[in-house]
Structure 1
Amino acid sequence: MAYQQPRLDHDSAAFKAAAQAEQELLRAYDLEETEHWFTYEKENLRLRVSEIGTGAPVLVVPGNTGDMFPFIPLIAQMKENKFFLFNRPGGGLSDGMNHQKVDIRPFIIDLFDHLLDELHLDKVTIMAHSMGCHWTLWYAMARPERIEKLVLIGNPGRVMLGKTPLPLKLMVMPVVGEFAVKKMVPKDYDHALNGLKMMGTSEQAMNGLPKAFRECYYRFQNLPYYQESTLSLLRTFNANSTNEIEANELANLNFPVEMIWGVNDTFATVDKGKEIAAAFPNCQFQLIQNAGHMPWLDQPAQVGQLTSDFIA
């Protein structure tokens, strides 16, 4: 029998609480969302895309396991585009995902093909963050004809990383990984933003976020299968170096790229960011002062303006 990926119960209290928290966050930023649902038949995955705004289309590929809500403060700064925010499998309100049960690179390429076809996007600008950048770069390498421009925000996953950092090595170990991911899940609202602090987001920025933002982190990270999705993602990309993206691969991508990097990003140094940017033939590197791995949370107006100008 074929493996069935974890399926979220849309009628459960946990699902409804997460959905409500996200709607409250959208209202806090005066945004309206249209939901698109489709099924990726090869894995029987129910996937969600959140459409916000009007104008030229931009596909948004979130980081971590794929929750779209952290992008809401940035989208609120950008009024000129229609954003399709992809709730990646394992995140958002899409079904859960055991990433170790698929051949990950062919899976991602085929999934993106299906996604763009569902949205009737022949060629599109993609804005991605963190692990979402890694997924996007794999797709861009396979389908450069479907990419208009790329905006890559934060350290872009396992790109030119070299040796696996010790914390990631520990995550792939049996028992240790399970314990670490369990500790990452907030047990109450007071600790809901601890992950942001670890990624270099300032206390001032966190204190300025609406209450609904904290509610979203608490609700989404306590959804069923969040821990399984997170741990399997980390293990898939960090168990060995076979999924590393090398500089010579980036050198073949000729479309315009903008990299936005917070000076306090805790996943890699500024020098590493500049090294990655230099590997692209046509890349602008934007360094954001007083900002972490999600630089738009610290400097929303600046990141919004830089991104809007580049896309335009």
Structure 2
Amino acid sequence: MRTLAVMTAGGDAPGMNPCIRAVVRTALNYEMKVLGVVGGFDGLIRGNFTPLGARDVGGILQRGGTILQTARSKTFLEPFAQQEALRQLNAAGVDALVVIGGGGSQRGALALHQRGVPVVGVPASIDNDIYGTDICIGVDTALNTIVDAIDKLRDTASSHNRAFLVETMGHESGYLALQAGIISGAELVLIPEIETSVEAVAQAIQDAYRRGKTHAIIVAAEGARPSVAQLASQIDEMEVGFTMRVTILGHIQRGGKPSAFDRLLASRLGTRAVELLREGRRGVMVGLSGREVVAVDLADVASRKRELPMEYYQMAITLAR
């Protein structure tokens, strides 16, 4: 194996840059040539390659986002686009590929593997919904961002006797909201996996008021039912003790310097991805199981979804009293 390509795809996640760095420097250590694919799968279809050396990935450990840029690609779902990507890889002399990204990116990696490309995936998604790994690159940093925001909101909430409804990202997974709710002391957490009612949310806020609390924090994942918009409009008309304010954290959760945990995780997974390709492994994703880095078949990753540990939901309820 003489030439390795690396790419990031899908939504960005803090830690993608440290992973790129680990892939490049590990490959260089084995005297390989490294090409970066700029622009995700669309960049791959266009053959947008750039050479990467040790100095090209210097100073990026602490940078959020991805130096290779990223995007979601509907075009890559089409067979003709996958065939064009294969043609571009062959034309560039690429012997193997590392794909860093979320669930859609891993499905794209599987499609290339099925067309004969030696490929290894690396999970990078703040949603933490990818099967085969305990945690994805970017999750720890996103959680720290959310908790920092909630801590600041609590200061103003206590000063004004308010309830804050805070919406986190997470796609169709409540992982971020649930973990953030527990570690920030939220009165209630709303997740897509468990439907609740406007009345139940209103009751939780009212109970906090009656217990003498100076504020109430409700953390809601995007995709939770009822939605933040429904809750805001309906609870505002109820007598719950506190006045209601809404904060949608949005894409701030994707940015910022990757945490120490994410830098180390990204480095471990990126390094192992290259080592697996050198060992002749292909069609797998590297992931973290306990303390060990493992390889999981991309076919399993693509066909399954990581389940939310529901014992944490009960913990959130218990600790909110």
- For the criterion TM > 0.5, the same-fold answer is no
- TM-score, normalised to structure 1, is 0.35
- When Rg is computed on C-alpha atoms for both structures, the one with the higher figure is 2
